[in-house]
Amino acid sequence: MEQQELIARLSAGEGFDGRLPERIDTHISVIFLAGDHAYKLKRALRTSYLDCRSLESRRHFCEREVVVNRRTAPDIYLAAIPVRLTEAGRLVLSGAEGEIVDWLVYMRRFDQAALLDRIASQGALSRPLTQQLGDVIAGFHQSAQRLEDPDGDQRIAFVLEENRMELERHAGGILDCTTMTLLDAKCRDSFRSITEVLWRRGQTGYVRQCHGDLHLGNICVIDGLPVLFDAIEFNDAISQVDVLFDLAFLLMDLLHRGDGGGTNRVFNRYLSRMRDYNELNVLPLFIALRAGIRAHVSAMAASATADEGDAARRSRDCQDYARLALSSLERKKPVLVVVSGLSGTGKSSVAEEIAPVLGPVPGAVILGSDMIRKRRLGVDLLTRLGPDAYTTGIDDAVYGEMGEIASNVLSTGHAVVLDATFRQPRHRDAVEAISHRIGVAFVGIRLEADRQTLEERVRRRRDDVSDATPEVLHRQLEGPRDGTGWTRINAARPLDSVSRDCREAIRFHLRDQ
C-alpha cells in the first residue's frame, strides 16, 4: 500500500473505531489525535538528515523514538505499534492479524494548551515554571549518557559552516547580504576564540545524548511540571551535543520571544542544579548558532509557502532571528555586582530583575549565599536551617565559595550578581579584591528599608530559600551598623522602582568602562 493512501484512510477514521481523528502535519510526520491518544506516522522520505523510505527504517525510528523519549516523558510515549492490513482489506492498529504496512508511535494525548510555546505566547510563563524548567533540564542532562567526543570543536565548526551555506541561499532576498556576511564573520571570530574550550569540553564529558530540539514547542506541562518530549531520535549528529548547546536552543527561543527575565531564570536555575559554572563563554556562540539555524529554517519555509501572509510572517521571523544571532555576539564587558542588605530588603528579587541586562547573553550569573549554604550542607533549598548552620566558620566557607565561583565566571567574560547580606567587613573587602584581581568593574549596592517594612516582609515569606525569621532580623538590626561606601538604595518602595534605581547606579558606575 502506498503511504499516501494509508494517510488518507487513517485521516478518514479507519483504524480508529470510526472516530474521525484530528490531524497535525509536519514536514517529516503526520500525527493523528483520536480520543485520549496520539499516533505519529513517519513520512516515507529522505532528507539531508534522515532516511525513512523503507518500512524497516520507519519501524526502527518509531521504536527508537519511544526509547529516547521515555527518558523524559514515560507517561506520554507508550509503544511503537504496527499498522496492519487484514485479508478483508481493513486497517487495524491492534492484534496480530494482517500484513504490516507501516508503523506508528503510540502516545498518550495531552492538552495542546499545555504546550510551553502557547503558555509563553499568553505571557503566562511564570517564575516558578521557569525555575522548574531549569531543574528538569539539568536533571535530564545530569543523567544523559556521556560521550567522549574527540571532535567537540569540529562538531560546532560543522554547524557554523552549514549555517553559512543555508543562509547564503537566501542572501540578497529575504536576508540582506550585509547581515549574512557580518553574522558569518562574527560567528567565526567567536569560534576561533573558544576552539580550545570546545575541544576540551568534548574530552571531559560535556557532549552527551541530549534532546536535540529543545524549544518551547517541545515542552508541555503535565500535573504542574514541565515535561520534555519529541527529542531527536533519527540523527545522532543533532542529539549528541554539548549540554550547553542543547540548553541554548531553549534560551534562544525565550530571547526571541522577548523574555529576557525568563531566559535568565532558566539559565541560573540550570547552573545551580548542575553545580557547574565552567566555560560559560561558549554560550553566546551557541545561542547565535541556534538563532542562525532558525533563521535559515524560516527563510526556507517562507520560500516554500504559497500563502503570501505566511511567507511575509516567516520572512520577518528570519530577519528577527538573524538580528538575535548578531546581538548575541555583541561583546559586553563583565561586571561584578553585589546586592547586599538585611533580611527583607528584597535582595534576591532585585538580583533577578537586574541580572538579565548585565554582560553577554543570557545575562549575569546570580550567586546567592542562601543557595550556596544549603548546597554545601546537602539539604533541599526549602529546608529550614537552624543557628548551627550560621557559625562564623560556615559563613566564611559560604562567602569563600561564592567568591571562588564568581572569579571563575568573571574570568570567562560573564557578569556576576552576588546576593548576600555582606554584613562583615572581611567579606566586603574580599569581594572587592576579586574585581581588582580579575580586572573587572565592581558595583556594590546596599538595600535599606525601615524596620516595619522588613518585619512585614519576613513574616510574609512562604516557600522561600531564605532562613530569616523575625528573630534573625532583630539580631541583624541590633548588630553593628554597616560602614560600607557602597551605593545605598531605599528598598521600602515597589520592586520596579528599586530595580530601576539599581540599574541606574550600575550604569553610573560603568559610564567610563
**What pLDDT was estimated at residue 499?**
98
Q: Is 275 left (phi over 0), alpha (psi -120 to 50) or beta?
A: left
Domain end position, chosen among 299, 328, 357: 328
> Which one-letter amino acid corresponds to residue 477?
L
**What pLDDT was estimated at residue 482?**
65
Is-contact 426 493, C-beta < 8 A?
no
- Based on the fold, state whether residues 86 and 210 are members of the same structural domain: no
- Based on the fold, state whether residues 131 and 244 are members of the same structural domain: yes
Is-contact 119 221, C-beta < 8 A?
yes
- Based on the fold, state whether residues 323 and 358 are members of the same structural domain: no
- Based on the fold, state whether residues 222 and 202 are members of the same structural domain: yes
Alpha carbon distance 202, 192 (integer Å): 16
- Based on the fold, state whether residues 339 and 315 are members of the same structural domain: no
Residue 274: CATH number of its domain: 3.90.1200.10
**What pLDDT was estimated at residue 171?**
78
Domain end position, chosen among 77, 109, 141: 109
- Based on the fold, state whether residues 170 and 189 are members of the same structural domain: yes
Residue 452: CATH number of its domain: 3.40.50.300
489's CB contacts (< 8 A; 6+ apart) are: 445, 446, 447, 448, 498, 501, 502, 505
**What pLDDT was estimated at residue 195?**
97
280's CB contacts (< 8 A; 6+ apart) are: 244, 365, 409, 412, 414
C-alpha closest to that of 285 among 365, 189, 367, 388: 189
- Based on the fold, state whether residues 287 and 352 are members of the same structural domain: no
In the block, residue with C-alpha cell 515597589: 494
- Based on the fold, state whether residues 216 and 265 are members of the same structural domain: yes
Single pTM value for the model? 0.94
DSSP 15: T
C-alpha closest to that of 197 among 271, 286, 327: 286
Residue by residue, DSSP assigns 39-99 as EEEE-S-B-SS-B--SHHHHHHHHHHHHHHHTTT-TTTEEEEEEEEE-TTS-EESSSS-SE
- Based on the fold, state whether residues 385 and 414 are members of the same structural domain: yes
- Based on the fold, state whether residues 354 and 306 are members of the same structural domain: no
Is-contact 420 314, C-beta < 8 A?
no
Alpha carbon distance 301, 280 (integer Å): 33
- Based on the fold, state whether residues 383 and 476 are members of the same structural domain: yes
- β-strand pairing of 416-419 with 207-209: unpaired
**What pLDDT was estimated at residue 221?**
98
* Tens-binned pLDDT, residue by residue, of the chain (513 aa): 999 999 999 999 999 987 899 999 988 999 999 999 999 999 999 988 889 999 999 999 999 999 999 999 999 999 999 999 999 999 999 888 899 999 999 999 999 999 999 999 999 999 999 999 999 999 999 999 999 777 889 999 999 999 999 888 887 788 888 998 999 999 999 999 999 999 999 999 999 999 999 999 999 999 999 999 999 999 999 999 999 999 999 999 999 999 999 999 999 999 999 999 999 999 999 999 999 999 998 988 888 788 889 989 999 999 999 999 999 999 999 999 999 999 999 999 999 999 999 999 999 999 999 999 999 999 998 888 988 899 999 999 999 999 999 999 999 999 999 999 999 999 999 999 999 999 999 999 999 999 999 999 999 988 888 888 888 888 888 876 665 789 999 999 999 999 999 999 999 999 876
- Based on the fold, state whether residues 324 and 347 are members of the same structural domain: no
Domain end position, chosen among 74, 109, 144: 109
Which residue range(s) make up the domain with 29?
3-109
Alpha carbon distance 109, 106 (integer Å): 9
Say how many domains are in the chain.
3
